Structure 1
Amino acid sequence: MRTITHIVLHCTATPQSATVAGILNYWRTQLGWKNPGYHILIEPNGTCHRLLADEVPSNGVKGHNAHSLHVSYIGGVDGRGRPLDTRTPHQLAEMERIVRRWKAEHPNAQVVGHRDFPGVTKACPSFDARTWWVSIH
């Protein structure tokens, strides 16, 4: 079992209408990734898609994947592509459920956003993950 030091929250930085198939295709064909960027992806209606087993590193944050778990919601931008927390109530509930489960399994792991890693210039997940986590637990 991997030692998990970070539970990383993401957004896809796409409209909420983006599809799981389209996101997977982009990673494969445009980025050339063999593994997905997240372990779990949450649709606006709350449906969760397991993209990768927790035991397998994803492509979530370059240089930090060996010890991280990654969950993302579809969305995270406004109509002009600017960062905006667009999580629906269903996505919020599912993200909380997933993070609580992972924290129970890895109590020493920090809950952070993609943007919280050194050198990352993205706004992802378009909200402050640390503040969100503190506010709900």
Structure 2
Amino acid sequence: MVFAATDSGSTPDTSGDAAPSGTKPETFPATRTATATGTAPATTAFAASYVGLRWTGDPDGAGIRLADGAWQRTGTGCATVDGGGTALVAADEATAYEVKAPAGASDVRTVAIDCTRGPDRTFHVPSEATRVRGVRYLSRPAWGADESKRYKDGKVNSPEAYYPLQSITVHHTDTPNADPDPAATVRGIYEYHAVTLDWGDIGYHFLVDEAGVVYEGRYSGDDLVPAFDPDGDLVTAFHTAGFNSGNLGIALIGTLVSQPPTDAAKASLIRLIKVITRFKGLDPQAEITYTNPVNGVKKDNETISGHRDWLQTD
């Protein structure tokens, strides 16, 4: 197995010690990663929060075992790639793991992610609560988004593109419930989406944790309005392959296959959807024909839908 480790906290925060007006300094642990290729056992120099996988081939049939644990099947999550599969698995602080690829799969790549114990980085967080039309949310600095992860070879990896909003898709992150540190989970998902999957950013526009806290997702500019540009168009994110442009993605943090969201998460989700649909003049109960503004592909759906309404997933 080819193995490489990185410590994204090894470079000091270049923003300096003095916080700009209207902000305050706050520290978050830098995300550490250790990457590997192939399916041979891998070890890490740190306790991993998550292990991310991606491969080319059949999207079903992959598995993972942590340290000396039993094999577990990886689900078909919301993060899909053309011609292959992906999975993000809670690692329970494991320092070793082994993966099993589907029959015939190739280009197997994994990454161990530590989003809780890396060296501290300083971020300039808004001093006052940030709100979008009355809905309080944590801005990207407030959950510790390392903006350097949006760049590759000195350039923005996925330049922002904006289109009129047509639909809203609700996901779950397929991460553990009763999450003790959901902001760390958001940082882990960000690392996996932006760097491992090479999307250049987190795939969702918003995330909601079990306590009902809303997190700003995909970067949309410096106008302090999450998800939209000053003209009211939606930044394209990466949550529903083939149907992303004009489609706003909200992810509930946790696994909701056999249980409903918490009351607090549900209340925040409803409030956020209500604000967005009113802001954009959408009927949340309407049946629509979504038209991809990039390639013209059409699909009948509802204004508010789930990922299963677009693609097969857990």
* TM-score w.r.t. length of structure 2: 0.35
RMSD over aligned CA atoms reads 1.8
30-39 or 91-100: bigger deviation: 30-39
Partner of 2:211: 45
Aligned residues: 116
Q: Secondary structure at the match of 2:235?
A: coil
Pair 1:111 & 2:297 matched: no
Deviations 1:32-85 (A, max 9, x none): 2113211001111111111122331110101111111111110124xxxxx223
* Alpha-carbon offset, residue 21 of structure 1: 1.1
User: Which of 33, 36, 39 in structure 1 is aligned with 2:202?
Assistant: 36
Question: Which of the residues 227, 245, 259 maps onto 1:85?
Answer: 259
Distance 2:206 2:274 in 1: 14
Where in structure 2 are there 5+ consecutive unaligned residues? 1-161, 219-226, 229-233, 285-302
Please list, as runs of the form range in 1=range in 2, the aligned pairs for 1:53-72 lying within 5 A after superposition.
53-54=227-228, 55-72=234-251
- The residue number in structure 2 matching 1:4 is 165
* Bigger share in helix: 1
User: Secondary structure in 2 aligned to 1:49?
Assistant: strand
Query: Is the 1:4–1:106 Cα contact (8 Å) retained in structure 2?
Result: no
Describe the shift of the 1:84–1:30 C-alpha distance in structure 2 as closer, same or farther (beyond 3 A).
farther
The percentage of counterpart residues that share the same residue type is 27
Instruction: Specify which structure has the bigger relative contact order, considering alpha-carbon pairs within 8 angstroms and separated by 6 or more residues.
Output: 1
Q: Larger Rg: 1 or 2?
A: 2
Kindly indicate whether residue 175 of structure 2 is the aligned counterpart of residue 14 of structure 1: yes
Opposite residue 244 of structure 2, the aligned amino acid is N
Does structure 1 retain, via aligned residues, the 8 Å contact 2:207–2:214? yes
The CA distance in 1 between the partners of 2:306 and 2:174, in whole Å, is: 13
Distance 1:87 1:94, change over 3 A: same
- 2 CA distance for matches of 1:85 and 1:56? 31
Amino acid across the alignment from 1:89: D
